[in-house]
Amino acid sequence: MSPSLQAPNWPSYLDPVRLDALLCQWLEEDLGTGDVTTEATVPPEQQAQGLFLAKTEGVLAGLQVAQRVFHLVDPELQVIWHQEEGSWVSAGTIFGHVIGRARSLLIAERLVLNLLQRMSGIATATRRLVERVRPYGTQVLDTRKTAPGLRLLDKWAVRIGGGTNHRLGLYDMMLIKDNHIAAAGSIRAAIEAAQRYREQHQPALLIEIEARSLEDVEAILTVGGVEWVLLDNLARQLPDGSLDVTLLREAVHLIGGRFRTEASGNITLATAEAIAATGVDAISCGALTHSVQALDLSLKLKLL
């Protein structure tokens, strides 16, 4: 990657050594005992150039990951990107090229495209949602609804698209949901138990609690001691297809800035603006990662 195009925002939560181990595992899954088609049809000394083509418009994400795949397959491959990580590209854009042994390019091709297409699809969906709520200053948060094994790349793609990483996992933030509240016995019991745990084990942990009704919000306000309130499904789809945000707006008004607010449920491009207009600090959307539509990208080879 050209130094001038190297993205400065490699996430702190993604250890390059751990990433390389994952990439090697995924390469092995695909390669097995060898690429029999390539070995049979492509001379070992044949050189080639691969051109990366965007076949639809969207946000590019995963360029640095793709480069690591190529270098794990063959350190002599030369990868040059014509666009930066996070760039919006139009259909027909050639956004990079790779030069080297044709066999190496063919071995790396599928994993490179799988990761680029998925990460770019997530980044594109995130960018569209971010732009939709930008006038309201609303953050777009990701969730834990990610593909197993791909969480850190999925979350990096959200970040490249302009979203905000919320929780990486079960270990870096407390999120007291309805089942935790049921198991603890009440909202008060759940919050007080979380506060005790935080004091004894991890004083820097943030606590968020789910509210599914105005009564829940009032109970949380009575107890206090949290940093976030998750307002779940308080924006409700009506039978005629319209969205009723009355309860959500009232909940935000009740909280009055005492805690940060996150709205979840029924978050789509069509509904996001109305939800953001209620004054919530953030919206979270699991569909960004669990229902991603891959961006259509290709790698076209020509012999040298």
Q: What does the alpha-carbon distance between residue 52 and residue 122 come to, in Å, rounded to a whole number? A: 19
251 and 221 Cβ atoms separated by less than 8 Å: no
For CA atoms 249, 254, 258, 263, the dihedral sign is negative
Residue matched to tokens 């699991």: 286
Residue 7 phi, psi dihedral angles, 5° rounding: -65, 135
- Distance, in Å, from the CA atom of 72 to the CA atom of 215, rounded to the nearest integer, reads 55
Distances (CA, A) of 228 to 128, 211, 220, 254, 261: 25, 10, 10, 14, 6
Q: Give the strand order in the sheet containing 282-284.
A: 139-141, 282-284, 260-264, 228-232, 207-211, 174-176
CB atoms within 10 A of CB 240: 5
Q: Distance (Å, rounded) from C-alpha 92 to C-alpha 122?
A: 20
How far, in Å, are 67, 129, 130, 222, 267 from residue 142 at the CA level? 25, 11, 12, 28, 12
Work out the number of other CB atoms within 10 angstroms of the CB of residue 263. 31
H or E stretch at 95: strand 94-101
| Residue corresponding to tokens 């005992």 | 33
Three-state DSSP at 225 gives coil
Cα separation, 173 vs 212, whole angstroms: 20
Positions marked catalytic: 110, 145, 177, 210, 232
